[in-house]
A and B are shown apart, each in its own frame.
Chain A
Amino acid sequence: MSRDFQRHMPGMERHLGRRASIFYRLHLDPVMLGLLIILCFVGLFILYSASGQSWEHVEKQAIRFALAFTVMFVFAQFDPVFFKRWSPFLFVMGVAALAGVMFFGTGAKGAQRWLQIPGLPRFQPSEFMKLVVPMMVAWYLSKRYLPPSLKSVAGALVLIMIPVFMIVKQPDLGTSILIAAAGLFVLLFAGISWKIVGAFVATLAAFAPIMWTFVMRDYQKQRVLTFLDPESDPLGSGWNIIQSKTAIGSGGWWGKGWLEGTQSQLNFLPESHTDFIIAVCAEEFGFVGVLGLLFLYLLIVLRGLHIAVKAQDSYSRLLAGSLILTFFVYVFVNIGMVSGLLPVVGVPLPLVSYGGTSVVTLMSAFGVMMSIHTHRTMISR
């Protein structure tokens, strides 16, 4: 009751009234919302070309956007305190679901990623964990003294590694990297000592050969090898990266024009409407087009960091910072892999690549951020 009272103090309404009060009442951040809508339209525009001018793809994706924005809106209505309170429960649920995937999961191409529970739509618990792992770590650390002690760091690492290893085992390298990053970002924002960061990086480097031998599957190793030398198998696994580099490079300063990209329109570029869609953008809109898209992503990241910095309690801060940085990792890993800077891991370009799961996950993360930004109290908790 008292919290409700605080939240609806008339003075605060007046204080914030200058800024779009209607958005505030709807718990939406108009700046972020505007940027996301622009990004989605840009995405649909590129998708039309990348899918071989398929209205069907565009319509499907637009419906997913509509669904995802609804999810975002719903998430934004909850108070961050609600998320905080439920974090441990959601985490346990998520780990349980991941365990379910290990034993009863379904999937294709040798990877088990989906869980089919009778009466529920088929879903991917690992997607769910992208949101829940940073929540859990933020919950864990917000209860402790910050900057975190070595013990707290160890506790947080355990919380991160449990789901990450379960997802690596599916195997799904792309998602596990994103989840690990999301968890580690929380630690970073919490003020983890640079010494620990250094030690951690060193340990990771030392463990790399062990990962290579025992953890990574053959196809994952192949991806790394292909990344190191795509020409070694130009028609096989190197084909994708050679064709995407060709698409990007042939775009030049200004690109070949919308629907005029020969690499994508003539099907030389594989996966052109999903993971490799940035190559279509680069081919048709050139370096200038890529800069424009990167600028849009930068604005979203900046706005996200702004929300994080303005957050009123440590849980919200840590969570918002982690979510927005993870969003940027999506962008970096995707463009890095398509341009041959990183090995190929299955990470989509956020809100531009065709596909429903990542769109919903991303938009629910933005919903959480909007909730953080719009459920403010006069007194910092």
Chain B
Amino acid sequence: MRHSQPLKDPNREKRIYAFRTVIALLVVAIMLAALIVRMYDLQVENHEHFQTLSDKNRMQLRSVSPTRGLIYDRNGVLLADNQPIFSLVVVPEQVESLEQMYLQVAAIVSLSADEITSFKRRLKRSRRPYQSVVLKSNLDETEIARVEVRRHELEGVEVQAELARYYPLAEATSHSLGYVGRINEKELKSLDVKNYSATRYVGKLGVEKFYESELHGTVGFQTVEANASNRVLRVLESVAPEPGKNLYLHLDARLQLRIMDMLKGKRAAVVAIEPSSGGVLALVSTPSYDPNLFVTGIDHASYSALRDSLDIPLFNRALRGQYPPGSTIKPIVGLGGLDVGATTKEYSIMDYGRYQLKNDKRIYRDWKRQGHGRMDLFGAIEESCDVYFYELAFNMGVDEMSRYLGFFGFGSNQSLDISEARSGILPDRDWKRAIRGLPWFPGDSLNMGIGQGFMLSTPLQLATATAVLANRGKWVAPRLLRETGDGSIVLSQRPDTGSDVELNKPENWEYIVDTMEAVMHSKKGTARGSGRKAAYRIAGKTGTAQVVGIAQGEKYDAEALAERHRDHALYIGFAPADDPKIAVAVIVENGGGGSSTAAPIGRAVFDEWLVNLPLEEGGVLDES
């Protein structure tokens, strides 16, 4: 201690210390007060604000997807089921490096570049934090096991089960039921955001699309308590989803499958309708495709193969194929001709195989080169005489022909619940002026009289017209849905705008049906081969349509060229003729003659429906 420093004074030190301690106590008190005021402010003054924030943190309103309604055929056979599928999903927030994760996953299960690309696309869509994104759908059992074993290595990756559509009959129902698929960006905008908040699939085509609102059901909600990593800990409150309605169709799965067999290897379509109800019993278009491929998303290679196939399996010939109806419309033209007085039952012509209009050098030929000889209307339908119908068409004129064909549903989509169906073309003067910019020539009428020229119709339209013929004019619109699961006939069907065909001379109905029976059962009938030894009477009409080149014409390759220039074979018919249970339209593309290719298929359909299936039902009953 240097002498310059004053001596220490313990008492002074103590006094100072005591004073400083008081100051320190004061400061401590002030600081404590600051903390208390702060806490009071947070916990008491602003309690409600923070309570809300805290609740918002932990409570989430989650939507629960309703179970999609099932689809059954008329006998309760399941056509569209919901089955659990297992997907590999990723919670991006829990994955450190996505690139690393792809490698890790690819080492365990196959992961294509396609799947990674669509995963990245899905990743970009808006979603709530910690919501999982599908990386790979449809894991099989081995893959699930392999993932589960390596789970600890795969942070943020898990196997998730969900219900997805499954179509047990696969190819056999794709063109009638359509299919569901994952909701895409465009659909997202048009769907009810709230009701679809938990839904991953939506009907893309067919029944699945038309009855989407019935099948979907109503979304349910859960208020859940979730932790910071979005894991649900408990359900606080819930409103159960209302499952979609089950649909029972008019379709008969057995008939559908048998027709599929009959058409194997052909580009063809068959539509069968129950005349009393308009219910579609079978709706087949071949070749077909497996709709199950589309449910969770079809891979690029499979899709290209389907899209680029020359046989265009994706094309629904039964609903969207527009063909010249050929001679199959002759009974209707004949009926109309009688009704307006353009011809009579007694009137006959001499057919030398050719027909010519006055002041026109063009020769209109009969399909039978030498002609049919003397022909009245009965013979003209029975033998499908073209010359008779050239003259009838000329006498009748386009206006009346168009009017009568319109009564039977041609030229518009008259179906109640088949929105993809095309309307075909029912030409008239206005149509030709509007589309071709030309007036209607008499020659156009001649072509139309035998179902050629401008007129186009779909197999569905032909079957509908046949059903109306079978009903002797009573209008029935084609429909797929029979009833919904709760027994109510569905409400959302379009209003049935068609009306019964009222003839001036109703006695002609039976006359025309007789001519069609003759087609099947008389010695000269064009389809007599197909009517032979039937246990019931069939009324039918064959048709052969020249290929003008429909939409897919450009895709012909050299080898297939000749085959694809052959005529389309058509057939319409119903049976039993006096108590019709089924009306059928058949078209076989490039099938050649209607009587040789299409009529036998029609007969086979009748046999199945009227003989074989009822017999089997009896048999089943006996066994049980």
Contact = CB atoms under 8 A, between A and B. Distances in A.
Interface of A: 143-147, 185, 188-191, 243, 245-253, 262-263, 265-268, 282, 286-287, 290-291, 294, 298, 301, 305, 308-309, 314, 317, 321, 325, 328, 332, 335-336, 339-341, 380
Contacts of B18: 309
B43 A144 contact: no
9 smallest A-B Cβ distances: which pairs?
Answer: A249-B50, A250-B54, A191-B16, A266-B227, A267-B228, A287-B43, A249-B42, A246-B53, A262-B58
9 contacts: A248-B42, A249-B42, A249-B47, A262-B55, A268-B54, A287-B44, A309-B21, A340-B38, A380-B10
A325 B5 CA distance: 30
A248 B40 CA distance: 10
A298 B57 contact: no
Nearest to A151: B5
B28 interface: yes
A287 B39 contact: yes
A19 B53 CA distance: 53
B24 to A, nearest CB: 6
A290 B47 CA distance: 15
B225 A266 contact: yes
A249 B43 contact: yes
Given A301-B28, A314-B13, A263 B54 contact: yes
Majority SS at the chain B contact face: helix
Given A262-B225, A266-B226, A325-B24, A294 B35 contact: yes
B43 A251 contact: yes
B53 A305 contact: no
A328 B57 contact: no
Given A266-B226, A314-B13, A305 B20 contact: no
Contacts of B47: 249-253
A374 B372 CA distance: 138
Nearest to B226: A266
Contacts of B229: 267
Contacts of B39: 248, 282, 287, 290-291, 335, 339
Contact of A249 (B7, B32, B53): B53
Contacts of B38: 336, 339-341
B490 to A, nearest CB: 46
Contacts of A263: 54, 57-58
Contact of A332 (B10, B31, B42, B57): B31
A253 B51 contact: no
A305 B227 contact: no
Interface residues of B, number: 45
B310 interface: no
Interface of B: 1, 5-10, 12-13, 16-18, 20-21, 23-25, 28, 31-32, 34-36, 38-40, 42-44, 46-47, 49-51, 53-55, 57-58, 225-229, 233
A268 B25 contact: no
A339 B41 CA distance: 10
Contacts of A314: 8, 10, 13, 17
A191 B20 CA distance: 7
A266 B17 contact: no
A191 B233 contact: no
B43 A248 contact: yes
A321 B49 contact: no
B51 A250 contact: yes
A317 B17 CA distance: 8
A337 to B, nearest CB: 11
B226 A308 contact: no
Most chain B beta-carbon contacts within 10 A, residue among A185, A247, A249: A249
B526 to A, nearest CB: 78
B32 A294 contact: yes
Contacts of A190: 16
B230 to A, nearest CB: 10
Given A287-B44, A308-B21, A325 B233 contact: no
A252 B10 CA distance: 50
Contact of A189 (B20, B42, B46): B20
Contact of A268 (B1, B50, B57): B57
Given A250-B51, A314-B17, 13 more contacts: A147-B16, A188-B23, A188-B24, A248-B50, A249-B53, A252-B43, A252-B51, A266-B228, A287-B39, A290-B39, A305-B25, A335-B39, A336-B34
Among the interface residues B18, B35, B38, B47, which one has the most CB atoms of the partner chain A within 10 A?
B35
Contacts of B8: 145-146, 314
